[in-house]
Amino acid sequence: MMASSYSAKDEDGHITVSGPGGGTLRNKKPENTAFKQQRLPAWQPILTAGTVLPAFFIIGLIFIPIGIGLYVTSNNIKEFEIDYTGDDTSSPCYNCAKNFSWNNTKSCTCTIPFQLDQPYESNVFMYYGLSNFYQNHRRYVKSRDDSQLNGNIDSLKKPSKECEPYASIDNKPIAPCGAIANSMFNDTLTLFYNDPNGTSVPIPLTSTGIAWWTDKHVKFRNPVGTNSNLTAVFQGTVKPVNWHRPVYELDTDPENNGFINEDFIVWMRTAALPTFRKLYRIIQKKNNMAPTLPRGNYTLVVDYNYPVRSFEGRKRMILSTISWMGGKNPFLGIAYITVGSVCFFLGVVLLVIHHKYGNRNNSANISN
Amino acid sequence: MFRKRPPPEEERRVRANDREYNEKFQYASNCIMTSKYNIITFLPVNLFEQFQEVANTYFLFLLILQLIPQISSLSWFTTIVPLALVLSITAVKDATDDYFRHKSDNQVNNRQSQVLIRGSLQNEKWMNVRVGDIIKLENNQFVAADLLLLSSTEPHGLCYIETAELDGETNMKVRQSVSVTSELGDPNNLASFDGEVVCEPPNNKLDRFSGTLYWREKKYSLTNQNMLLRGCVLRNTEACYGLVIFAGPDTKLMQNSGRTKFKRTSIDRLMNTLVLWIFGFLVCMGMILAVGNAGWEKEVGSLFQSYLAWDTPVNNFLFSAFLSFWSYVIILNTVVPISLYVSVEVIRLGHSYFINWDQQMFCSQCNTAAEARTTTLNEELGQVEYIFSDKTGTLTQNIMTFNKCSINGQSYGDLTDPLETQPKRLDFSPFNPLADPDFCFYDDKLLESVKVGDSCTHEFFRLLSLCHTVMSEEKSEGELVYKAQSPDEGALVTAARNFGFVFRSRTPGTITTTEMGRTVTYSLLAILDFNNIRKRMSVIVRNPEGRIRLYCKGADTVLLERLHPCNQEVMSITSDHLNEYAADGLRTLALAYRDLSEDEWEAWSESHRFADKATDCREDRLAAAYEEIEQNMMLLGATAIEDKLQEGVPETIAVLSLANIKIWVLTGDKQETAVNIGYSCKMLTDDMTEVFIISGHTVQSVRQELRRARERMIELSRTRDGVKEEGMQGWREPCFNGNGFKEGQEGGDTAGGSGGGVGKQLHGSPLPPPLPLSNLMDNISGEFAIVINGHSLAHALEADMEAEFVSTACACKAVICCRVTPLQKAQVVELIKKRKKAVTLAIGDGANDISMIKSAHIGVGISGQEGIQAVLASDYSFSQFRFLQRLLLVHGRWSYLRMCRFLCYFFYKNFAFTMVHFWFGFFCGFSAQTVYDQYFITLFNIVYTSLPVLAMGIFDQDVPDHRSLEYPKLYEPGQLNLLFNKREFFICIAQGIYTSVVLFFVPYAVLSNATQSNGVPLADYQTFAVTTATALVIVVSVQIVLDTGFWTVFNHVFVWGSLGSYFIIMFALHSQTLFRIFPNQFHFVGSAQSTLLQPVVWLTIALATAICIVPVLAFRFLKLDLKPQLSDTVRYTQLVRQKRRKPPGRNTGSAWRGTGSVSEGRLGARGGSRRSGYAFAHQEGFGELITSGKNMRLSSLALASFASRHSSSWIDTLRRKKHTHTPPSTSGECSPAPSFISVSVPPLSNSSSILGGSQETPIEEETVAAPAQNTQMIPASVTQTLPALAPDAEAPASQVSAQATSSGVLTPTASKSQGGDSPGGWTLSLGTVQEALFGWKVIASRASSSNSPGPTSIAKETNQIK
């Protein structure tokens, strides 16, 4: 290790140097190119009052109108939210929530009346919301088999070990496997309009078109076996533990059954945050004249299947209209207005500082 | 790997020609090994070395963690791919390096040498040479090992060696074998030689050897004079035989080379510290999150188990927390991405190429470009505080040129027209066929003077051609080669040769010259040799006419004391000239002669012989004898030799010291020489407050001298401070306002940076309150210099003196260490490294500089004349000292700047990237879920953000190159470590963390409630991931846009390309095609489209970007506006100038004019302290060698050719001279009638006049008296005011002097006709010369005071005299 630093080359050098005397000496002069001489033409921006201050004003002037626009748009969106968790004794779902047990075969139903103060024009979107539900937990997120969900027969029979401990029961593969699928939200929500004349009109809810196009058409596919019948294809698999029905009985519509059932797809798109909402149904606008949801009294009927009390979760039903920029989102508008104002204000402050203290040094040195 | 080491040697016993006997001692063989690995050990050793890097071990550890499924939060490939890449690249590089080391080892070890084995010479490889072998060396061969010289082909067992490789001294040295062995001549005798040498064990002392040779029951003591050391080259000796005493690693050369050190830059070290800190930070984060995980699993997770069961091995929250800790360590490891190290290397490599490519560091004469031999040190070039420079070959070219002379009070050699850039070189060839064509001289007055036969001039050159110890070699007629012991002597003899006094050859008793075309043989009666105390040498010769004359040359200080009193006038003029020369940094010698009568000579030679034969105190007696005769001499004049500095050395030193870099000169040369060079390269100036010389020989005296120097400094600086306080107000303004700006511009005038230096020091210590001594030393104001010699340095470097020495030396502006050994050079460097914690740079060109080059942080080798050993040991090499300023101020500065900017941005970027995970941890149950897609994590550092920052790290420039040379103060941030230090690091990290907060919480706030325009919520994990990732990439791109100050086309391509590649790669990874092939690998199918089509997402990204960037922008603007750095100001003015469309050439011009004026200042002399530049770089003893005839190669061939050329009776004369000591008769048979000589040689008399007839003496004295008075009247500062002379005053002055000279050297008749009214017109005209000479000085002083036009006053003066 303690190699002496003396390099044998040292002695050699002398000889090699004195050697090449008569030979044609290659001119070793470096090339005179802009690149090699570091003289590349270059733009050299510099932060001066002339560039920075206008930038602040421009940012301010752009952000404030955008913010106002966003804020107004957001305020025009109507949103109604109802919490039906039922941990309050006064809540209609209290009994259902309290008496829940996984073994119940018959679902408990509760009815929640509510009132809309304003008519909801255009399409109304119906969401369910969960709180304190950690769909973004690492073990939860990875607990799925995309290959199985994409209709791969091998994966259907032999789910990835990522799905553990929801991969198989008694050596029979679970379809769909994994914790995500296992915990699928399975409350059924229905809406009734209480006509002023006393009748209760069910509101038609569309259950398709609620998932991403790529999810529905690319990511999720039913396994294609020799048989086109889903029941046969899923032969040999078992339903997830918490499910009441196997995957091929989620819907009657073959285009919305099995892995491509949109409720399932929506659930499988895990949320980023523990409090989230997922699109449940769409209330299509009927005709141009009447609002989709007129003012008045409504009833929400819940088939209470999904327990959240154990982990202090909450369940909500949300009705919302939509604008070009999506649902109600006051934060964005306020943030834009704030940032815009701050920029503008900063611009003014910097301008003052610059005029009072800043200019001296630079102008003094220009003369040099 | 190693055999058991034998115990350290007490003494070494070597028996010649007896391998069996010597093998008992297991001496090292002559095989050297500098390589580190062999094929088998390479992999384990190299990997072991690589994993000693903290970073590599860290990544290995992470890799292992990732293989545990319960912990792994990322795929294993995110770590292993880059790690493997890094390891293999490094391994390949190491392997190549070692391969070349092997190759060169082999080459050296396999060199052939002739070894005497069993009575016959056999070729043997170097590595097979054993201790005790006798080897034969031939001319110009390298000495293979440390040898005891046994015999040589030269008479008396002499041989000549060049030790340049060893100690850097280029003059040849002579070695002599012990007399008994020198007779062993041929191989047969040597084969039977069985002497035994007992000597000291191997050591590194180059100039010492002590041992004893036992042979035939007799003892002979051995000294260094008998040794030939490895690394030397045999010169001028046909062949010689030597006994190997030390071989291979035991040789003094190898013992003198320090240990290999892997050099790291301070940024490297800082980076390693920071990586450790970050690691600590990482652990803290992990702990926080693990605690969070424990809490969450206990409070929430345990209840959530119906939906999310715990993993099988996990049964409680504590274990889960433990695993989560490691998971987070993996996720957060990207705060120190492995690409950091790779990128740093790439950037350094780029900078190295720029250094190699720099045309302005290319030397066209020697066709060498600068070379960065180490690619890992570039940014340290921007932080250098101390430069340790070798002298010979580094500052100087080691070429001595005869530059000026003063003959009998007349100075020659000044450029006739200083404004003319290319003065006309004198052509000697028509006048003198024997002239050396390489000789340069510009003043034709001198040649005129020789041609007209001025007796003083002739005598002057005659002295130069006689009084020396040079040997000549004349291969063919007229092709003379002088072998001078010191280049000084060579220069003087060559000068004499060109001016018509050609030294042809010498024998022990004669010197043959060709004087103005006539061959003259002088008989050499005695050589009064040089030594350090005498500082002079003399010869006593008898000319063909039989007159005996002593010629003496020596240091002015000693010589002027020994003149005859009647020399007063000439002496005062000459000593003025000497002062001028010395102030120009020339090495001066005074020349004198003395005529001896036959009686005087006889008497003295008797006493000399007596002294010579004395057994006790021979030295002293000889010295006394010499002293006796070297008296009452007549001054002939003085010579000034220029130790030619390399081009631009004073300018470079001035610029570097303006950049606050301290320059120490460490040289093996003598004190006088070193000091002289110190002056000529403006390290030492006469403006300096004091120059201390430390030359004590004992610890006590050195300590005392140091202490005294320190006390004196404090005292002087106190008085200065007192003065300065008054001038404070005046000083402060430029200091504060200019911020070094003004100093930079005016740097040219304040030669040596005195103005700048004072200003700065003042800035640093406005009012020193009473401080303890050590602090006081840091605040010394005033300019001091210290000169310390090797002996004292040895004491000063002892442990208990170190501190004292450092504090004293560092308070000085200039430090010169002379007579230092190679190892001492390294020790000094180590000392500063240790004590000052400053970045050091060592620059040198010889093998003696290797240890210094290796121990300094940065070693620079000058690829000059002295081989390329230093270059091979160095980190950077180029061929001119002046390139150092470009290397440091341009390349170093840029490298440092770029590296710092790179690191700042890099840490910022990775914290911004990684810390998002931390915040997300609070929302995902501390489960170590990543925010981004794993591909994004893998690619972020490698693809999406690496190239723009690399482009910045490679191409960025804050100010153009000529600006950083123009304002050396721009270099200071690097020395003070301002651009990247712990504070900057924390700022970067804080900014990164801030960005990560924004990047997480803005999308969080916006997306948690947002939906797509078709009602689908945006708060799903994949949308969130894509939004955050996009925002991150955009924010860091905007940040690099802000950071990049120099947008070349590469920056544009890389910045926009990286952004583009992000989107392209993302869309590709999220595409259906890839998903269809690997559905389990690409979960994010379709996320890109559905996310990036949403206006809300873009609004979110814009918002996050604005929140991240606006404060940064505001902060930077404020900093720039209120507290601009010098570089900002320079940049700004540059911009303004560009806008005004001034031609850039003007700026460059002014930059160089700034430094150029330094050199102008150099030409102008500043008068001052008398410094003797008597700088014979040789040792004493040569005179003795010559007179004893030992070194005469009287080979029959030479004699024959000599005899045939000259008259055949020459040998007879020679013999006669040898035997009788009588002068050869002046008969024409031995030489052609020396009519010319008899004319030119003054008559034999002791009269003081060198001007001619004694009857003219009174007049002469009278006329000369007047100027002498003038001299006294003129204040000593006259010479100082000279350079300040207005050109109009200078021109007439030189006119007058030229005119005077021409009249002065006219033949007597001519001058009589001119000044016919005077009886002694000859003398008068000479008086006029002197008058004129002084006259123009007077005018000079007057002109500077009154601005009166010159000519009138000259006329006045001349009239007065008449």
B808 is in an annotated binding site: no
Write down the H helix ranges in B940-1048. Answer: 946-955, 961-966, 972-975, 982-1007, 1021-1043
CB atoms within 10 A of CB B716: 17
Query: Which of chain A's residues have a Cβ under 8 Å away from the Cβ of B368?
Result: 28
User: Quick one: pLDDT band at residue A342, thresholds 50, 70, 90?
Assistant: very high
Q: How far apart (Å, rounded) are the C-alpha atoms in residues B481 and B464?
A: 16
Closest chain A CA to residue B309: A165
Of the partner residues A37, A137, A165, the one whose CB lies closest to the CB of residue B359: A37
B chain contacts of residue A333, beta-carbon cutoff 8 Å: none
Say whether A322 and B1002 touch across the interface (CB within 8 A). Answer: no
The shortest C-alpha distance from B480 to chain A (Å) reads 23
- pLDDT of res. B1112: 93
Report whether B583 contacts B679 (CB < 8 A).
yes
Q: Which of A44, A78, A120, A207 best probes binding to B when mutated, by most B CB atoms within 10 angstroms?
A: A44
Closest-CA residue of chain A to B111: A12
Q: What is the pLDDT of residue B578?
A: 84
| DSSP H/E element including A76 | helix A49-76
- Asked if B312 lies within 8 A of A56 by C-beta distance, the reply is no
Please return the burial class of B1339, using the count of CB atoms within 10 Å of its CB with bins 0-12, 13-18 and 19+. buried
Read off the tokens for B867: 């081989």
Measured CA to CA, the distance from residue B1310 to residue B1306 in angstroms comes to 6
Determine how β-strand B839-844 pairs with β-strand B858-862.
parallel
- Nearest chain B alpha carbon to A159: B1080
Instruction: State the best of A10, A273, A281, A324 to mutate against chain B, taking most chain B CBs within 10 Å.
Output: A10
The neighbour count for residue B485, using CB atoms within 10 Å, is 24
| d(C-alpha B139, C-alpha B155), whole Å | 15
Sheet holding A79-83, edge to edge: A79-83, A314-320, A124-131, A276-283
Partner-chain contact B1103 A339, CB within 8 Å: yes
pLDDT at A331: 92
How is residue B916 written in tokens?
Answer: 């998002």
SS (H, E, C) B1213-1249: HHHHHHHHCCCCCCCCCCCCCCHHHHHHCCCCCCCCC
Question: How many residue contacts between A and B have a Cβ separation below 8 Å?
Answer: 379
pLDDT tens, residue by residue, B190-233: 888 888 888 888 887 777 788 888 888 888 888 888 888 888 88
pLDDT of residue B986: 94
Token pair recorded at residue B521: 């043989």
Rounded to whole angstroms, how far apart are CA atoms A200 and A202? 7
Q: HEC profile for B922-960?
A: CCCCCCCCCCCCHHHHHHHHHHHCHHHHHHHHHHCCCCC
Q: Is B875 a catalytic residue?
A: no
B841 forms beta bridges with B387, B858
The string of DSSP codes covering A316-365 is: EEEEE--BTTBS--HHHHHHHHHHHHHHHHHHHHHHHHIIIIIHHHHHHH
Start-to-end CA span in chain B (Å):
92
- Catalytic residue chosen out of the listed positions B250, B358, B390, B956: B390
Closest chain A residue by Cα to residue B1049: A42
Closest CA to B715 of B690, B686, B752, B683: B690
Q: Are B247 and B228 in contact (CB under 8 A)?
A: no
Q: Which of A147, A223, A217 is nearest to A178 (CA)?
A: A147
What's the pLDDT at B1204? Answer: 40
Which pair of tokens denotes residue B436? Answer: 């050396």
Contact criterion met (CB below 8 Å) for B963 and B1046: no
Greater pLDDT, A63 or B435: A63
Chain A nearest C-alpha distance from B395 (Å): 21
Q: Are A80 and A125 in contact (CB under 8 A)?
A: no
Q: Which residues of B touch A133 (CB under 8 A)?
A: 307
- Report, as an integer, the average pLDDT of A237-247: 88
pLDDT digits (tens, 9 = 90+) for A285-306: 887 778 888 888 999 999 888 8
Residue of A nearest to B929 (CA): A138
* Alpha-carbon Rg for chain A in angstroms: 34
Q: Identify the closest residue of chain B to A45 by CA–CA distance.
A: B1045
CA–CA distances in Å: residue A236 to residues A127, A146, A157, A168: 34, 19, 8, 11
> Which residues of A are less than 8 Å from B304 in CB distance?
134, 310-311
Q: Are B284 and B345 in contact (CB under 8 A)?
A: no
- State in Å, rounded, how far the first CA of chain A is from the last one: 57
Determine whether the interchain pair A7/B872 forms a contact, defined as Cβ–Cβ distance below 8 Å.
Answer: yes
Q: Which one of A132, A215, A325 has the shortest CB-CB distance to B1013?
A: A325
Length of chain A: 368
Spatial contact of B240 and B151, defined as CB atoms under 8 Å apart: yes
* Closest Cα in chain A, distance from residue B535 (Å): 35
- Cα distance from A111 to chain B (closest Cα, Å)? 26
* Region at B510 (left for phi over 0; alpha for psi -120 to 50; beta for the rest): beta
Q: Select from B153, B163, B135, B165 the least CA-distant residue to B236.
A: B153
Chain B CB contacts of A140 under 8 Å are: 307-308, 927
**Nearest-angstrom CA–CA distance, A151 and A163:** 16
* Residue B59: Cβ within 10 Å count: 24
User: Which chain A residues are Cβ-neighbours of B1106 within 8 angstroms?
Assistant: 59, 63, 339, 343
Cβ pair A9:B100 closer than 8 A: yes
- B1246 in a labelled binding site: no
Report pLDDT for A205: 92
Q: Which residues of B touch A273 (CB under 8 A)?
A: 923, 1004, 1008, 1019, 1024
Mutation target vs A (from B162, B961, B966, B1011; most A CBs, 10 A cutoff):
B1011
CA–CA gap between residue B94 and residue B88 (Å, rounded): 10
How far is B125 from chain A, CA to nearest CA, in Å? 15
Contacts with A143 from chain B: Cβ below 8 Å: 308
Measured between beta carbons, which residues in chain B are less than 8 angstroms from residue A339? 1103, 1106-1107, 1110
Query: Which has the closest alpha carbon to B756: B748, B679, B1127?
Result: B748
Contact A6 B34 (CB under 8 A): yes
CB contact under 8 A, A269 and B924: no
| Spatial distance between the Cα atoms of A8 and B107, rounded to a whole number of angstroms | 8
- State whether A49 and B1002 contact (CB < 8 Å): no
Cβ–Cβ gap B1129/A278 under 8 Å: no
Give chain B positions within 8 Å (CB) of A365.
741, 1129, 1132-1133
Model pLDDT for residues B284-336, shown as the tens digit of each residue: 999 999 999 999 988 888 888 778 877 777 777 888 889 899 999 888 888 87
Cross-chain residue pair A10–B850, CB shorter than 8 Å: yes
Contacts for B105 with CB less than 8 Å, ≥ 6 apart: A8, B32, B33, B34, B35
H or E element that contains A367: none
The answer to whether the CB atoms of A353 and B1085 lie below 8 A apart is no
Which residue, among B33, B304, B862, would best test binding to A if mutated, counting the most A CBs under 10 Å from its CB? B304
Residue B644, annotated as binding a ligand: no
Complex ipTM value: 0.92
Cβ pair B868:A4 closer than 8 A: no
Using a CB-CB distance cutoff of 8 angstroms, which residues of chain A are in contact with residue B742? Answer: 368
Query: Tokens 């401080």, residue?
Result: B771
Lowest-confidence segment of A69-83, A242-256, B336-350 by average pLDDT: B336-350
Cβ neighbours of residue B497 closer than 8 Å, sequence gap 6 or more: B432, B434, B435, B436, B439, B465, B480, B482, B503
Contact A86/A110 with Cβ under 8 angstroms?
yes
Pull the structure tokens for residue B1007.
């997306």
CB within 8 Å: A179 and B308: yes
> H or E stretch including A124?
strand A124-131
Number of other CB atoms surrounding residue B808 within 10 Å: 26
Let me know: does B703 contact B801? Beta carbons within 8 Å: yes
* pLDDT, position B721: 66
| Cβ-defined contact of A274 to B1107 (cutoff 8 Å) | no
Which sequence spans correspond to the domains of chain A? 51-77+328-355, 79-322
Cβ within 8 Å of residue B261, ≥6 positions away: A5, B854, B855
Contact B1031, B1105 (CB under 8 A): yes
- Return the residue in B368, B1009, B1041 with the most chain A beta carbons within 10 A, the one to mutate for interface testing: B1009
Q: How far is CA B236 from the centre of its chain?
A: 30
Could you tell me which chain B residue has the CA closest to the CA of A146? B1080
- Residue A6: per-residue pLDDT: 39
- The answer to whether B620 is annotated as binding is no
Nearest residue to B303 via CA among A102, A309, A275, A140: A309
Which of these, A84, A277, A133, A226, lies nearest to B1008 by C-alpha position? A277
Do residues B393 and B168 lie in contact, with contact meaning Cβ atoms separated by under 8 Å?
yes
Whole-angstrom distance, CA of residue B771 vs CA of residue A98:
82
Measured over the CA atoms of residue B1137, residue B1141, residue B1142 and residue B1144, the dihedral's sign is: positive
Residues B1020, A52: C-beta atoms closer than 8 Å? no
Whether residue A353 is predicted with pLDDT greater than 50 in this model: the reply is yes
Indicate whether this model's pTM tops 0.80: no
SS (H, E, C) B1076-1138: HHCCCCCCCCCHHHHHHCCHHHHHHHHHHHHHHHHHHHHHHHHHHHHCCCHHHHHHHHHHHHH
Contact B740, B753 (CB under 8 A): no
pLDDT at B289: 94
Q: Given the DSSP bridges, would you call strands A296-304 and A188-194 parallel, antiparallel or unpaired?
A: antiparallel
Alpha-carbon torsion (B849, B854, B859, B862), positive or negative: positive
B189 annotated as a binding-site residue: no
* B900 in Cβ contact with B979 (< 8 Å): yes
> In chain B, which stretches have pLDDT less than 70?
1-7, 164-171, 256-262, 415-423, 475, 478, 721-781, 864-869, 1139-1185, 1187-1362
| Residue B616 is labelled as binding a ligand | no
CA separation for the pair B911, B334 (Å, rounded): 8
